[in-house]
Amino acid sequence: MDDQLRRAPIGVITVRDGVVAAANDAARKLLPGEDPDGKPIEGVFPQSVADSLPAAFEGRAVAEASFEEYYPTVDRWLSVSVVPDDGGATVYVDDVTERKRHEQARDRLRAERERVAVVDRLIADVLREFVDAASRAEITETIRERLGASDRYRFAWTAEHAGDGPVVEGVAGEEGETFPAVRAAIEDGDTTPEGRAVDRGRVQVVESMSDASSVPEPVRVAGFADGIQSVLAVPLSYGSSVYGVVGVYAGSEDAFTDHERSSFEALGELAGLAINATRNRRLLLSDTITEVTFELGTISPLAAVSERCGAALTLDGTVPEGDDGLHCFLTVTGADPDAVVDAATATPNVEAGRVVRRAEGEHGRIDLTLGGASPLVEAVSQGATIRTATFEGGTGEVVVELSPDADVRRLAVALGDGEPATVRSRRDRTRSPTTAREFRDELGERLTERQATVLRTAYLADYFESPRGSTAEEVAASLGITGSTLLHHLRASQRKLLDAFYDEFDDRKE
């Protein structure tokens, strides 16, 4: 071997009759044994799975070859070229481990990016179909049909949360023997990943189903036979309410990456929001509504406070607070409002409270903010409209309006304490919608002539715009009154406008 080859930066091995004649220093560093000179090339060169090098020397003549292979004994990727010459061959060897690892990392990232894109497109398609969904059943059917038809997953199934466990709605995809085993486990009362997702209100993942003790054994056995390896269970929730669950089953352990889990979590929350919206929409547009009166015990913080303070609490109205809270404006009778607020804010699920107005004697109005686990919040989050509510002596009576197809038992379970809340009455009634003209006529009857004039003048003068087109002083001057008189009339007329709109405070006078 000449000096130029000996100093080459890559390995050079000359072979005669299958035996190493010479090797430069770079080659000796790559070969696992000691001095290779005089030894068969097959014995000194590391072995790979394909063993391409020995194959090049098998015949009577050396075969030209070029390849890249991983060699476990030296933990390297080597690029090898075999160049035949008179009476032998020269083998050129280069360590390409760093380049191959970079390529593998790049390929993994590219595959992950493509997989993420597929999942994101799939979920985006599902969300687009939510827009036209008119019912809970259409929403859950959209989810399972699109996921079940995807090449990424074997099958998907959905269930409604009925308070005492999942109620299977349907399945899509190659269910094999696994889904019947899941259904049987639910009927037997066994806990499945989907059941835990409902109970805990968050996504549950099983990456190796055959080894997971958290999965019922019959399901593991069926999954092993079907080649199912991983499960993702997603609760369909809005605020503190869980409306149902979707179970997604896949044939690989790494089917659900962190990104996919986050995407599915968002899907579950948006599905819950869509289900809640469809219920509210049906209630809003329906001519017929179901009116249900529930009896509540001390699981209700308001009932507990009424007993503790010896007070009667009457709900005047509610305003949502975030995703899972509720401002409750209550009239207090028979107790000091400050004492009631103090007792309420020390009660679980009451997050804040204040006194809005005090009256003579033990009377006044308070504002309490209820948390997500309280019955009134549960009622609102499940699409009910609270018409009236009273609490006294540790019990409460709540009247709600529901769409005709609403599940009253499901709501009763959500309002109860271990057992469904007692239903005192239930009736369907026809709602007569108020037209815009009727609303204006009713408002006109409430306003005095002067109040109507002031309100209309301020409106047309862009007093209510932002920024204002006219100041209070300018509007007052145009009417020939003082600014304080203008504000007095505006407050009175605005109050009557709100009374007419909300129809809740008819007993109040100017």
Per-block average pLDDT, block size 10, for the chain (510 residues)? 87 91 91 87 87 85 91 91 88 93 86 72 74 75 87 91 76 94 90 89 90 91 93 86 89 85 85 76 67 90 93 86 78 92 92 83 85 83 85 93 81 82 87 60 76 82 78 85 90 82 48
Residues 421 and 293 in one domain: yes
What φ, ψ does residue 134 adopt, rounded to 5°? -100, -5
- Position 281 scores a pLDDT of 65
pLDDT score for 507 = 40
pTM for the full predicted model: 0.51
Spatial contact of 182 and 164, defined as CB atoms under 8 Å apart: no
User: Are the C-beta atoms of residues 302 and 391 closer than 8 Å to each other?
Assistant: yes
The reported pLDDT for the residue numbered 504 is 46
- How high is the pLDDT of residue 218? 94
- CB count, 10 Å around CB of 437? 8
Q: What is the dihedral of CA 144, 146, 151, 157, to 10 degrees?
A: 0
In a domain, 201, yes or no: yes
CA-based nearest residue to 30, from 4, 10, 6: 10
The verdict on 126 and 272 lying in the same domain is: yes
CATH number at residue 74: 3.30.450.20
Could you tell me the CATH number of the domain that includes residue 451? 1.10.10
Beta-carbon contacts of residue 273 (< 8 Å; ≥ 6 apart): 238
User: What was the pLDDT predicted at 10?
Assistant: 93
Q: Give the start-end residues of each E strand in 25-113.
A: 65-71, 76-85, 88-95
**Residue 360, class by beta-carbon neighbours within 10 Å (0-12 exposed, 13-18 middle, 19+ buried)?**
exposed
Q: Minimal CA–CA distance to 106: which of 95, 114, 94?
A: 114
Instruction: State which of 282, 315, 350 marks the end of a domain.
Output: 282
Question: What single-letter DSSP state applies at residue 86?
Answer: T
Residues 6+ apart with CB under 8 A from 450: 489
Q: What is the pLDDT of residue 227?
A: 93
Whether 366 and 341 have beta carbons less than 8 Å apart is answered as yes
Beta bridge mates, 364: 332, 358
Contact 475, 463 (CB under 8 A): yes
In a shared domain, residues 12 and 67: yes
In a domain, 491, yes or no: yes
507 domain residue, yes or no: no
* Closest-CA residue to 294 (of 472, 445, 131, 424): 424
User: Looking at the domain assignment, is residue 85 inside a domain?
Assistant: yes
3-state class percentages of the chain: helix first, strand second, coil last, to nearest 5: 40, 30, 30
- Using the 3D structure, point to which of 95, 126, 156 is the last residue of a domain: 95
Q: How far is CA 341 from CA 258, 331, 349, in A?
A: 44, 12, 13
CA proximity to 143, closest of 274, 308, 5: 274
Six-digit token string for 397? 């009576």
Q: Is residue 448 part of a domain?
A: yes
Closest CA to 351 of 314, 389, 322, 387: 322
- H or E element in which residue 290 lies: strand 288-296
Q: Are residues 415 and 443 in the same domain?
A: no
Question: Does residue 311 lie in a domain region?
Answer: yes
**If you ran DSSP here, which 8-state letter would residue 425 be given?**
E
Assess contact for 401 and 352: CB atoms under 8 A: no
- For residues 153 and 277, membership in a common domain is answered with yes
CA-only gyration radius of the chain, Å = 37
Structure-block tokens of residue 134: 């008119």
Whether 18 and 135 share a structural domain: no
Query: Of 95, 126, 147, which marks where a domain is finished?
Result: 95
Q: What is the pLDDT of residues 197-254, one digit of tens each?
A: 988 888 999 988 988 888 999 999 999 999 999 999 999 887 767 888 999 999 988 8
Spatial contact of 173 and 156, defined as CB atoms under 8 Å apart: yes
- Are 200 and 183 found together in one domain? yes
Is residue 233 domain-shared with residue 258, that is, in the same domain?
A: yes
Work out the angle at residue 435's Cα, subtended by the Cα atoms of residues 431 and 441, and round it to the nearest 5 degrees: 120
CATH of the domain at 130: 3.30.450.40
Q: What pairs with residue 327 in β-bridges?
A: 319, 369
Q: Is residue 246 domain-shared with residue 297, that is, in the same domain?
A: no
Statement to judge: residues 311 and 383 lie in one domain = yes
User: Other CB atoms closer than 10 Å to residue 189's CB: what's the count?
Assistant: 9
| 63 & 196 share domain | no
The residue written with tokens 């290779």 in the block is: 36
Number of domains in the chain: 4
- pLDDT attached to residue 505: 42
Any domain includes 509: no
213 and 162 co-located in one domain: yes
Q: Per residue in 87-129, pLDDT tens? A: 789 999 999 999 999 998 888 788 777 767 767 777 777 777 7
Structural domain that includes position 132: 104-282
- Residue 326 has a pLDDT of 83
